[in-house]
Amino acid sequence: MGLKLMVHKMSIRTRLILAFSVLLALLLAVAAVSLQRLEALTATTQDIVNFQARRAQLAQRINQHAQAEAILLLNLLQTTERDERVKLYAALDREIAASGKAVSDLDMTMLTPQMQGEINHVSDLRQRYSVLLQETVELIEIEGTASARTYFENRTHKVLNTLLFDTQALEQHLQQLMQSELEQLKLSADQARQRVIWLAVVALVIGALLAWFIARGIVIPVRSAVSLARGIAGGHYDLDVPQGQRGEIGALLQALRTMRDSIASREEKILKLAYVDPLTDLPNRTRFNELFEARQATDSGALVLLDINRFAPINNALGHNVGDRLLCAVATRILGVVGTDNTVARLWADQYALLLPGVDQSTATALMKRVIDAVRAPMLIEGQLLDIEVSTGVALYPQDGVDSTTLLRRAGLALTAAKRRHAVLEFAAHWPDEPSPSQLSLIGEMREALKRGEFVIHYQPKLHLATNKITATEALIRWRHPVKGMVPPMQFIPFAEQTGFIRDITPWVLRQVIADAAQWTQRGLAVVASANLSTLDLMCQGLVQDVAQMLAESGLPPAQLCLEITESALMDQPDLALQHLHELSKLGLKLSIDDYGTGQSSLAYVKTLPVNELKIDRAFVTAVDVTPKNAAIVRSTLLLCQELGLSVVAEGAETAEELAWLVNNHCDLVQGYVVARPMPLPEFLAWVEKFNSSAGL
């Protein structure tokens, strides 16, 4: 119990260090014992093998020398020539000496008493054999080979056979002795292996017991903490947290206790933040969607989006504090008109949503005009008197949709249209929600069409009325679709602008137009080429640099290129747009305002923009000869431009009567079917050269 209590008080880190230290010590002990035993067995085995092998080799040499001596002696007994026997005597002496040395070496190998007796016996036989051998040799020299042969057969041969047999027996005995010792070593190795296995098993058992003991001391408290955490996650904040734990487990339980208290105290705030805008205290987008979906499916009414125009400049100029107070003031004014029976929410930034159940278009219009008037009334914030403008988009349900997602999208389209038209109120029913399936298909194919080279440029000439020559042309993009044929720009350019793909199309158009204009300028054709820039193009940071690089690469004089911009392109970021126009003007390019007269502040732009010409929209040119109001607008524009030094292009002229009226009123240029339709480049060049040549006659 004392050890258990002591371990229980240890930290998890201390327990793990202790357990793994013990386990590591056991494993090191096993490794040390194993290494020691294996080294000892290896050294002993090598010594035994070497020692016993030498003994067996010496015994074998004794036997071999004895056999060699016998062979030499037999040769002596058969040799009659004295000289030949002398050679055999020398060889016999060498064998006798070698045999004696082998016996001496074997005698010095520290043999057992039994083996020593066998060696002594072999040594005695060797000496007896040497004596008989010497006597046999002497008989050869004294009495002749016949007498010596008889002596050899009767005495020497018997001792020789005994010597050979005993040396062979000695060799076999030594081999058996070596095998016995090797088996003993194998037994010792088996015993060492068993000790190693036993130590390993003991180490594993002790390690497993330590792991179990530590795991039990950790898992049980952790399991209790997990159960507690799950209860807190389920919202049960009244669960008791165990007390008295120490170390890491105690810290964990204390953290769970703190977490439980913090979650319980903050859940209310979190729920409020999830559904309420913290600045205006209005419902947020999530709550607004829930309230809308909670209505009866058969209900009708209006969903309105209200947006403060040019809120960002106010926020940036006067500071976020003023901006925040402005947002709160707008929320208060909206609520003051619609009351608590209707839902008002702040969706994001400066955009509000109103849910007006039970209203139709006329009722919604009347109510929203009151809201707009209330919001537009001057308000004093931190000493600043602010006049603000708002735009609203209205979607009616169920006419424009039945779910909040659809209605918000439709109201957003109406709001965008209101901003674009500088109107305060637009209904979604007046603006189509989505393009047709065929248009959607074209949108998806545009990028691949650009890669495949399906876009082409057609040029529509501009007639200079004073000289009756073509002095300018407008580049108009066409899509030569492999299936649908020639697709006009109005079927894909608006969607290219919406998707941002216009940023890829315009650089291609500019590069193509500049290259074509450089080509016909080198041929001596003085025709200024015009290309259109969209809003996204004019906002592009690299626009000026790209145009300058294209002009430099092509060699086209900048004055031979005109860029046409619409008034709407100047609305989003007028400062950046004006900066880019000034930079383009400094390059020497001509600039033109396209669709002049369709906006609401054209005169202001004519005064401030570095433009060279105005293009009067076809809406005023059509029937100008028979429509007094159109004639008045065009005539006043011509007089204005004459005073400002700007040239005027009347676009969309289709009849000879319109053309005659424009000539009589001193218009500079005319573009329209009355002059020529848009043409591909080869046809355009041939047509212009022919037209200008005939005009000069």
> pTM to 2 decimals?
0.49
Domain 13-206: CATH architecture, name and number where available: Up-down Bundle (1.20)
Among 130, 151, 154, smallest CA distance to 142 is for 151
Residue whose token pair is 């409020």 = 272
CATH number of 437-695: 3.20.20.450
Number of alpha carbons in the 13 Å side-chain half-sphere of residue 123: 16
Distance CA 436, CA 343 (A): 34
Among 503, 475, 477, 478, smallest CA distance to 562 is for 475
Distance CA 431, CA 453 (A): 33
Amino acid at 68: A
pLDDT of residue 601: 47
Q: Is the pLDDT of residue 439 over 70?
A: no
pLDDT band at 134 (very low <50, low <70, confident <90, very high): confident
**Residue 475: CB partners within 8 Å, gap ≥ 6?**
457, 458, 459, 509, 512, 513, 516, 529, 530, 531, 532
Residue 58 contacts residue 109 (beta carbons within 8 Å): yes
The H or E element spanning position 431 is: none
Whole-angstrom Cα Rg for the chain: 57
pLDDT of residue 265: 72
Could you tell me what percent of the chain has a pLDDT over 70?
Answer: 81
Query: Which of 235-249, 369-383, 605-619 tops mean pLDDT?
Result: 369-383
- What does the mean pLDDT of the chain come to? 82
Structure tokens at 40: 């000892």
Among 282, 294, 283, 363, smallest CA distance to 330 is for 282
Please, is 578 exposed, middle or buried when counting C-beta atoms within 10 Å of its C-beta (0-12, 13-18, 19+)?
middle
**In 78-112, alpha helices (H):** 82-107
Q: What are the strands, taking DSSP E only, across 408-527?
A: 425-427, 455-464, 469-481, 485-487
Residue 269 DSSP code:
H
The H or E element spanning position 355 is: strand 351-357
pLDDT of residue 604: 62
Q: Is the pLDDT of residue 375 over 90?
A: yes
Distance CA 490, CA 477 (A): 10
Q: Is the pLDDT of residue 272 over 80?
A: no
Cis preceding linkage at 221, omega within 30: no
Distance CA 451, CA 356 (A): 49
Domain-wise residue ranges, the chain: 13-206, 285-430, 437-695
pLDDT of residue 138: 77
Residue whose token pair is 């290129």 = 561
CA dihedral 533, 538, 539, 544 (to 10 degrees): 120
Residue 605 contacts residue 615 (beta carbons within 8 Å): no
Structure tokens at 249: 């487990």
Q: Is the pLDDT of residue 667 over 90?
A: yes
Q: Is the pLDDT of residue 418 over 80?
A: yes
Q: Tell me what the mean pLDDT of segment 388-407 comes to.
A: 92
pLDDT of residue 339: 87
Distance CA 628, CA 139 (A): 169
Distance CA 576, CA 589 (A): 18
Fold adopted by 285-430: Alpha-Beta Plaits (3.30.70)
Give the number of other CB atoms < 10 A from CB of residue 37: 17
pLDDT of residue 35: 62
Q: Give the distance, in angstroms, between the CA of residue 103 and the centroid of all CA atoms in the same chain.
A: 85
Q: Is the pLDDT of residue 541 over 90?
A: no
Sort residue 353 into left (φ over 0), alpha (ψ -120 to 50) or beta: beta
pLDDT of residue 179: 76
201 or 325, which is more confident? 325
469 or 22, which is more confident? 469
Q: Is the pLDDT of residue 572 over 70?
A: no
pLDDT tens-digit map of 27-45: 677 667 666 766 666 666 6
Confirm whether 285-430 and 437-695 share one CATH topology.
no
Q: What are the strands, taking DSSP E only, across 447-507?
A: 455-464, 469-481, 485-487
Q: Is the pLDDT of residue 435 over 70?
A: no
